[in-house]
Amino acid sequence: MTFMWIWAMCLVSFGGFFGAIGRFQLGSYLSRRFPSSIPYGTLTINLLGSFLIGILMKYHAYDNWKLLIGTGFMGAFTTFSTMNLECMRLLLAGQWKVSMLYTLLSYTGGILLTFIGYYI
């Protein structure tokens, strides 16, 4: 193992630690504040993460920042697997319209906000 590899792992780990905590705190708060069949916590987190990663791309962040914020923080903050689980739960509960709306908002909104973040 080289020093640069260890340094990269430390940056990703540090960013991931705070990204996971941020996701948990914000997701919990939004779920309590806005109870609904649409999982607003995960939707908001994924859309915010898409916007922020667009900003990171725009400013051609140095490799250390990409590792810390892009891979570490955003990788742990946004949550594709949770979104898919919530979509599946909605489908199993017979709420297929809500599931499709949630999926559409997540993907379309995520791509749109990445572009907006990049072009700001």
- Which residue do the tokens 């990445």 mark? 114
Task: Check whether 78 is labelled as a binding-site residue.
Answer: yes
Task: Check whether 94 is labelled as a binding-site residue.
Answer: no
Q: Are 64 and 11 in contact (CB under 8 A)?
A: yes
In terms of C-beta distances under 8 Å and separation of at least 24 residues, what long-range contacts does 60-66 make, across chains too?
A: 64/11
Dihedral sign, Cα of residue 40, residue 24, residue 81, residue 59? positive
Binding residues for Na(+): 75, 78
Binding residues: 75, 78
